[in-house]
Amino acid sequence: MALTAGIIGLPNVGKSTLFNAITKKNILAANYPFATIDPNVGIVTVPDQRLEVLEKMYVPERLIPTSYEFTDIAGLVKGASLGEGLGNKFLSHIREVDAICEVVRCFEDGNIIHVEGNVDPVRDIEIINLELTMADLEIIDSRIDKVEKKARTNKDKETLEEIAILKKAKEALEKNIPLRLVDFTDEEKLVLKSYNFLTIKPMIYLANISEEDLTLEDHPYVKKVEEYAAKEQAITIKICAKVESELSELNDDDKAEMLEALGIKESGLDQLIKATYTLLGLATYFTVGSDEVRAWTFRRGMNAKECAGIIHSDFEKGFIRAEVMSYDDLVTYGSELKVRENGKARLEGKDYLMQDGDICHFRFNV
């Protein structure tokens, strides 16, 4: 399932360093704006300890975790919606992602130039969010100007309803309210979906701090980001891109040792990956066997037939039933046989809503 989270921010806030750590890719990270011109896409593994347990139980030839994409997008500057910097090219890349991770500089470093001259996280957030808002308003105004007169003349009910929804969105944006905070009906959301608006995408704020401040409980810059994010009902994650880059080069044992030495329980990247996975409304089901144990990503609310189609379209087309047991039941009873003997294995039809942690075997016939 091709789902993507985009990493955005002003130049020199640590985006590319963070992206390198996430994907272990050695892309260009330089101390000047637009070091990254084209979006860099990396596949990210979702941490899931359940896979380790299943691997010990089945000893498969292959172990395949679930994953999704992170896209590193070139640094945004003030005036991007008007074409400044990389302008609309940057904004078009953001339209292609499902969620936005906005990196905010919360560290002082005289050796790293700040594009605005000094560190001020709220100002930086507002610069970016204003550009996203302006870009959405431009699309709304363009669409209304194009079709409103004709729709009123022809009394085209569907288009007039669309215009009313767009005007509702415009009114919110003009009050600096992102569209993700507007109370749209399901029908209105369906109309807006085709526009791929920037401010309707879920947002995570990444407060990038220095290594020295990792264990600081009441970081003044981070606190400002958290207060801003709270107003938007958004998530804030404290992260040190430099440390994450170092952690990404270590094996699991050395990583755990370094985290303990730093006095932190979980890396910022693991927090980010889990938070983004949750933010996108994703969950995981498993297929198991001696040849392969694999995790599969699905959207919460998908039924068994749709989830079968994630593996292969033939599975969905010829779906008969799903043999399902829960991960928790498998761990409790210790084997598939014991799960069946205790009446915990189930046969589910096409309309069964898949649950996180389901272990499935799909029956199909094409």
Residue by residue, what is the 3-state secondary structure of the chain? Answer: CCCEEEEECCCCCCHHHHHHHHHCCCCCCCCCCCCCCCCEEEEEECCCHHHHHHHHHHCCCEEECCEEEEEECCCCCCCHHHCCCCHHHHHHHHHCCCEEEEEEECCCCCCCCCCCCCCCHHHHHHHHHHHHHHHHHHHHHHHHHHHHHHHHHHCCHHHHHHHHHHHHHHHHHHCCCCHHHCCCCHHHHHHHHCCCCCCCCCEEEEEECCHHHCCCCCCHHHHHHHHHHHHCCCEEEEECHHHHHHHCCCCHHHHHHHHHHHCCCCCHHHHHHHHHHHHCCEEEEEECCCCEEEEEEEECCCEHHHHHHHHCHHHHHCEEEEEEEEHHHHHHHCCHHHHHHCCCCEEECCCCECCCCEEEEEEECC
How do residues 235-294 score in pLDDT, each as one tens digit?
A: 999 999 989 888 888 888 898 899 999 888 888 888 888 888 888 889 999 999 999 999
Residue 87 to residue 223: CA distance in whole angstroms? 30
More confident residue, 111 or 26: 111
Q: Return the pLDDT at 339.
A: 97
Q: Using the predicted structure, report yes or no on whether residue 30 has a pLDDT greater than 60.
A: no
List Cα–Cα distances, 290 to 15, 55, 180, 322, 365, in angstroms.
40, 9, 44, 19, 23
Q: Return the pLDDT at 90.
A: 57
What share of the chain in percent tops pLDDT 70?
89
How do residues 196-244 score in pLDDT, each as one tens digit?
A: 999 999 999 999 999 888 888 889 999 999 999 999 989 999 999 989 8
Give mean pLDDT, residues 103-117.
81
Q: Using the predicted structure, report yes or no on whether residue 28 has a pLDDT greater than 80.
A: no
What is the end-to-end Cα distance of the chain in Å, rounded? 22
pTM of the predicted model, to two decimals?
0.81
How do residues 54-75 score in pLDDT, each as one tens digit?
A: 999 999 999 999 887 888 876 5
Q: Using the predicted structure, report yes or no on whether residue 44 has a pLDDT greater than 50.
A: yes
Q: Return the pLDDT at 237.
A: 94
Residue 56 to residue 312: CA distance in whole angstroms? 27
Q: Using the predicted structure, report yes or no on whether residue 81 has a pLDDT greater than 60.
A: no
Q: What is the mean pLDDT of the chain?
A: 87
